[in-house]
Amino acid sequence: MLTAEIVGAPPSGVSKRGKRGTFGRLAAMLRDSCATVSIEFAFALPILCAMTFGLYEVTQGVITYMKVVDVANTVSDLIGQISIAQGGVGNQDFDNYYIAAQLVMSPSTGSNLGFAIASVYYDATGANPKVAWQVERGGAAVMVNAISFVNGLGTANGSTIVVQATYTYQSLLNYFITSPIVITSQVAGQPRNLLPPAYPQGIPCPPASGLETCN
């Protein structure tokens, strides 16, 4: 029994020292890992922030572009729905179309929005396009390429409505996109009610009633 106790005592002491050594090494390793993670996070954080801000700005820019396209399509569609009872479009109509276009841009501000509208008509062969009338709203510039834009789209005594929408996009963050960007969309559509040969020059502006002007 004495021999067993003497022989068994040292392993017990060694085991305790081994445990203390193992826990010490594990604690040291954890301290080293924490330091490594902190350093890696310090390097990764600016990159992650830049990626987040950049993705936000690009996404907002794409959404704004899609809304500008929607504005041009919406205004073209509204004009194309002019009925025989209306007989044409005038200033009040264009003002209402501009309000509708600003609502399409929501929640973006509509104050940076402008559009130009032109009605182009063709001769009996569907060629020789000419501008019947043109109007602008929201400070938009006069459309100079209305005829070239619809070249080849003509039908005999037909007409085409050309809408060019412009929007000045300003990023809220100003992180990557630091300067305003002008977004432009141009579309062409045709009247669906006021058709030739009764309306050889397209939708009248002002209306036939003469109650409005066209400018």
* Contact assessment for residue 180 and residue 169, using Cβ atoms and an 8 Å cutoff: yes
Q: Contact, 165 vs 101, CB < 8 A?
A: yes
159-169, strands of its sheet edge to edge: 130-137, 113-121, 159-169, 181-189
CA distances from 18 to 4, 10, 21, 23, 30 (A): 22, 12, 5, 9, 18
User: What is the model's pLDDT at position 108?
Assistant: 84
pTM: 0.76
Q: Which residues pair with 188 in a beta bridge?
A: 162
Q: Which residues pair with 169 in a beta bridge?
A: 181
CA distance 206 to 215: 9
- On whether the CB atoms of residues 167 and 60 are closer than 8 A, the answer is no
Structural domain spans, the chain: 43-189
* 25-47 pLDDT, tens digit each: 666 655 555 666 677 767 777 78
Q: Are 71 and 112 in contact (CB under 8 A)?
A: no
d(CA 178, CA 161): 35
Series of mean pLDDT values for 10-residue runs along the chain (215 residues) = 47 51 65 64 76 82 93 96 92 95 89 95 95 96 95 92 94 73 95 92 87 84
